[in-house]
Amino acid sequence: MKSLSAALIVAGAALAFSAAAQAEADGEAVYNQACMACHMTGAAGAPIKGDAEAWEPRIAKGIETLYEHSLTGFNAMPPKGGSMNLSDEEVKSAVDFMVQAVE
């Protein structure tokens, strides 16, 4: 009986860990789904992912400013890049993904 109880506890912990890992936003997937059309081409003045020169002045304003602009919209970019179904965490993960490409 102790072995069965231990096995159930371990299985439960593994399931909880798996669910938590799946709940984390995948910045690359969000970028590919919602951001790439503009941030790969530079459409409407969007800084191209990987273009350090274009990102430098934006990064200098701080990550919180980048998050705020991506969540509420900035210049030609609508809030959440027009993908209002995204959570704030998903949007922030996409910003992190793009910033990491130039750091």
pLDDT, residue 3, reads: 53
pTM across the whole model: 0.77
pLDDT, residue 92, reads: 98
One digit per residue, the tens of pLDDT, for the chain of length 103 reads: 555 444 445 445 444 443 444 457 899 999 999 999 999 999 999 999 999 999 999 999 999 999 999 999 999 999 999 999 999 999 999 999 999 999 9
Strand partners, 74: 77
Distance (Å, rounded) from C-alpha 23 to C-alpha 61? 29
pLDDT, residue 2, reads: 57
- The superfamily in CATH containing domain 26-100 is Cytochrome c-like domain (1.10.760.10)
- Cβ atoms 94, 35 nearer than 8 A: yes
Task: Name the residue ranges covered by the structural domains of the chain.
Answer: 26-100
- Cβ atoms 89, 25 nearer than 8 A: yes
Q: Residue 40: what residue type?
A: M
**What sign results for the dihedral spanned by CA atoms 77, 78, 80, 81?**
negative
Look up tokens 């990491």; give the residue: 100
Distance (Å, rounded) from C-alpha 55 to C-alpha 38? 14
Look up tokens 């910045």; give the residue: 27
